Amino acid sequence: KLILTTVMEDVYMKRTNGYRILFYLVNTLFWFNIFVAGFTACVIIYFHYDDSILQNTSFNVSLGKGLVDVNMHEYPDTKLIQLLIVASFISCILSSAMLWNFKVLFKNAAKGSIFVSSNTKAIFAMGIIFLIGSFAAGVPKFFIAAKLAPLLNVKHGTITISYSIDGILFIAAVFILLLGAFFKKAVAIAQENELTI
């Protein structure tokens, strides 16, 4: 019995150490994302007042998930590049929020607290972030495509620009929100069992 208890304690310690390592890894990624978001915010503010560096620069933008690849050389309008920088800033903010919720999950798992309300909130928050991302992902591409459309010359056919949500992110958001609902129910059952005991 003592040997079995010792083995179970070793397995538990290894599992919590694994969660602790994941927590530190996610924590590092979170702070790196915060740094990148802060740097990007400074760049946005700087370019708002002085965009002379961006003038006559070349940039590459991919539309339609790599189906259309546009390489712009010496394009005088700096609004497109500024839009791409703002989009990357918003992406950093959303990924920072996602990593924060992963931090909560792994921190609780390292403590051995799985079925707690903070984990439920973190799962719901991740689902909402994925949902926002699914709608927001196509916005910069839509505006860039609308800006570039007059510059394109198509001899046979027409150019149609349409906004679409990211289907993969949307499906992931729905599954995560459903997982959050199941997890909320599991937390309620676990709390009822603790009160019964």
Question: Can you spell out the DSSP letters for 84-131?
Answer: HHHHHHHHHHHHHHHHHHHHHHHHHHHHT--S-HHHHHHHHHHHHHHH
- Global pTM reads 0.77
Condensed to tens digits (0 to 9), the pLDDT of residues 77-96 reads 677 778 888 888 999 999 99
Does residue 106 surpass a pLDDT of 80? yes
Does residue 13 surpass a pLDDT of 60? no
- The per-residue pLDDT of the chain, averaged, comes to 80
Which residue type is seen at 127? Answer: G
Token pair for residue 90? 């918003």
* 109 against 28, higher pLDDT: 28
Residue 166, φ and ψ in degrees, nearest 5: -80, 110
pLDDT more than 70, % of the chain = 74
pLDDT band at 1 (very low <50, low <70, confident <90, very high): very low
Mean pLDDT on 21-33:
92
Looking at residue 14, its pLDDT comes to 59
pLDDT band at 102 (very low <50, low <70, confident <90, very high): very high
* First-last CA distance in the chain: 24
- Alpha-carbon span 96 to 80, nearest angstrom: 24
Looking at residue 87, its pLDDT comes to 87
- Alpha-carbon span 143 to 33, nearest angstrom: 25
- Alpha-carbon span 42 to 36, nearest angstrom: 10
Q: Where are the domains of the chain?
A: 2-196
Condensed to tens digits (0 to 9), the pLDDT of residues 131-180 reads 999 998 888 877 777 777 766 666 666 777 777 888 899 999 999 999 99
Mean pLDDT on 49-65:
68
Contact 56, 76 (CB under 8 A): yes
- Alpha-carbon span 194 to 116, nearest angstrom: 12
